Amino acid sequence: MTGLQYLDISGKSWAYQLLDDKFLGSGTFGHVHLAQAAIDGTTVRKIAVKTLNIKGTHDDMETELEKKRKASWEYLFNLDHPNILKYYGAHVTSAPGPRSIALLMEYCSGKRICA
């Protein structure tokens, strides 16, 4: 497993860790890994962590993340529909190297839906 990340989402304490051997896919803007998350120190579940590679400093991204969260992500986080993956939260990664934004989402197992 890779680096434990701690954050607060909707008043709950989250800790998640990427599973090194569980790369799920990549696209134009970033990549997705399987992770294990603990919520409030008890509930453990598998989640997908989508990492968006974005240029800029950590402070710039914190500001940009806040703007996006208020503008459009808030809608996604509150969306509740059985056919749409649940978004749990987002944060700017603190890992060394290029900075990125990590979106924490519901993990959906099964086959790929595109060829």
Q: Which residues are annotated as a binding site for ATP?
A: 50
CB atoms within 10 A of CB 63: 13
CB atoms within 10 A of CB 38: 16
Burial of 82 (0-12, 13-18, 19+ CB in 10 A): exposed
Contact 65, 91 (CB under 8 A): yes
Q: Which residues are annotated as a binding site?
A: 50
